[in-house]
């Protein structure tokens, strides 16, 4: 049975395909409601343990993923799983790295790379994808990267 997020829940990005992914900041309390079934955590150090299945992607604050191949694999996994599971993507504050990852997931879902940042800023959070390097990463991201 499909267990995805309700579009009205805070931080939920609905993709063109209808998949939904919740973005959030780990600095803040876990939102009320159903728990994720899978979490992708984008941090410079190993994240705290969670009750659900998760994956850590080494991604220092205000930077880019340490390993582009691992990043592509992790983002593809989050996108695939979002079809039938509650997937969350999170960094410390839920803005730069989370927004960058959500923009890349949107590209995997069919949003053109040149429109992905504005798509995520409109539908997830204004001001996300914080640095010029993060914006360039999204602009050159595609399903076959690297």
Which residues does 73 contact at the CB level (< 8 Å), separation at least 6? none
pLDDT of residue 126: 94
pLDDT of residue 145: 47
Supply the CATH number for residue 127's domain: 3.90.190.10
pLDDT of residue 143: 61
Crossing angle of helices 96-108/113-123, nearest 10°?
A: 120
Per-residue pLDDT of 110-143, as tens digits, reads 999 999 999 999 999 999 999 999 999 999 997 6
Tell me, yes or no, whether 114 lies in a domain. Answer: yes
The low-confidence residues of the chain, meaning pLDDT below 70, are 1, 143-146
Query: What is the residue whose two structure tokens read 């899978």?
Result: 38
pLDDT of residue 50: 95
pTM of the model: 0.95
pLDDT of residue 4: 86
Which residues does 3 contact at the CB level (< 8 Å), separation at least 6? 34, 37, 84, 85, 86
Tell me, yes or no, whether 117 lies in a domain. Answer: yes
User: Which residues span the domain enclosing 49?
Assistant: 14-140
pLDDT of residue 62: 87
């Amino acid at each position: 049975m499909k267990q995805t997020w309700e579009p009205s829940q805070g931080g939920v990005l609905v993709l063109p395909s209808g998949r939904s992914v919740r973005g959030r900041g780990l600095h803040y309390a876990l939102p009320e409601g159903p728990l994720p079934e899978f979490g992708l955590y984008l941090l410079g150090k190993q994240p705290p343990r969670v009750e659900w299945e998760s994956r850590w992607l080494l991604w220092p604050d205000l930077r880019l993923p340490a390993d582009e191949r691992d990043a592509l694999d992790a983002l593809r996994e989050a996108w695939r799983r979002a079809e039938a599971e509650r997937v969350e993507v999170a960094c410390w504050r839920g803005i730069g790295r989370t927004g960058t990852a959500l923009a890349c997931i949107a590209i995997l879902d069919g949003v053109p790379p040149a429109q992905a940042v504005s798509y995520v800023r409109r539908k997830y959070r204004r001001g996300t994808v914080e640095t010029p390097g993060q914006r360039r990463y999204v602009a050159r991201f595609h399903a076959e990267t690297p």
